Amino acid sequence: MTLLAKPVSYKVLARKYRPRTFSEVVGQEHVVRALVHALDHDRVHHAFLFAGTRGIGKTTIARVLAKSLNCEQGVGSQPCGVCQACVELDEGRFVDLIEVDAASRTKVDDTRELLENVQYAPMRGRFKVYLIDEVHMLSGHSFNALLKTLEEPPPHIKFLLATTDPQKLPVTVLSRCLQFNLKKLLPDLIQPQLQKILKAEAIPYDAGALALLARAADGSMRDALSLLDQAIAYSGGTVDESQVREMLGSIDQAAIARLLGALSTGDAKALVAVVAEISEHGVDHDAVLSELLLRLHQISLAQIDAELLNSVNEDKETILANAHSMTPEDVQLYYQIGIVGRRDLPFAPDARTGLEMVLLRMLAFRPATDADAKQNLQTPTKVSASDTIVGSVASSEPKVSPGDWESVVERLKVDGFVREMAHNSTVESFAKGDMVLVLDESCAQLYNKEREAALREALEEFYGTGMQLNIRVSRPNGETPAQKRSRMEDIRQKAAVDAIYNDPNIKALEERFDARVNPASIRPKS
Question: How do residues 239-267 score in pLDDT, each as one tens digit?
Answer: 988 888 878 876 677 888 889 989 988 89
Arithmetic mean of pLDDT over the chain:
83
What are the residue boundaries of the structural domains of the chain, listed by start? 13-181, 187-248, 253-364, 370-479, 484-521
Residues contacting residue 93 through CB under 8 Å, at least 6 positions apart: none
Mean pLDDT of 458-474: 90
Residue among 394, 450, 397 at smallest CA distance from 421: 450
Task: For residue 492, give Cα distances in angstroms to 43, 486, 498, 504.
Answer: 54, 10, 10, 20
| Distance of alpha carbon 190 from the chain centroid | 18
Say what percent of the chain tops pLDDT 70.
86
Confidence of residue 393 (pLDDT cuts 50, 70, 90): very low
Q: Between 316-325 and 253-265, two packed helices, what is the crossing angle to 10 degrees?
A: 10
Quick: pLDDT tens for 135-147.
888 888 788 888 8
Instruction: For residue 205, give the DSSP letter.
Output: B
Give the CA-trace dihedral at 356, 359, 363, 366, to 10 degrees: 150
| Strands 97-101 and 128-133, sheet pairing | parallel
Q: How far apart (Å, rounded) are the C-alpha atoms in residues 298 and 281?
A: 26
In tens, the pLDDT along 400-438 reads 338 478 888 988 988 889 999 999 999 988 888 889 999
Look at the domain 13-181 and name its fold.
Rossmann fold (3.40.50)
Full-model pTM? 0.59
Domain 253-364 has CATH 1.20.272.10: yes
Element (H or E) spanning 20, and its range? none
CA-CA distance, 520 to 526, in Å (whole number)? 16
Among 81, 59, 82, 31, CA closest to 129: 59
E strand or H helix that includes residue 2: none
Helix 449-463 / helix 416-423 crossing angle, nearest 10 deg: 80
Altogether, the residues listed in the chain come to a count of 526
- Is 60 exceeded by the pLDDT of residue 344? yes
Cα separation, 401 vs 394, in Å, equals 18
CATH fold group of domain 187-248: Helicase, Ruva Protein; domain 3 (1.10.8)
Judged by DSSP in three states, 159 sits in strand
- Those residues whose C-beta lies under 8 Å from the C-beta of residue 86, and which sit 6 or more positions away, are 67, 70, 71, 72, 79, 80
Task: Decide if 13-181 and 187-248 have a common fold.
Answer: no
- pLDDT tens-digit profile of 32-48? 999 999 999 989 999 99
CATH topology of domain 370-479: GMP Synthetase; Chain A, domain 3 (3.30.300)
pLDDT of residue 296: 92
**Between 67 and 283, where is the model more confident?**
67
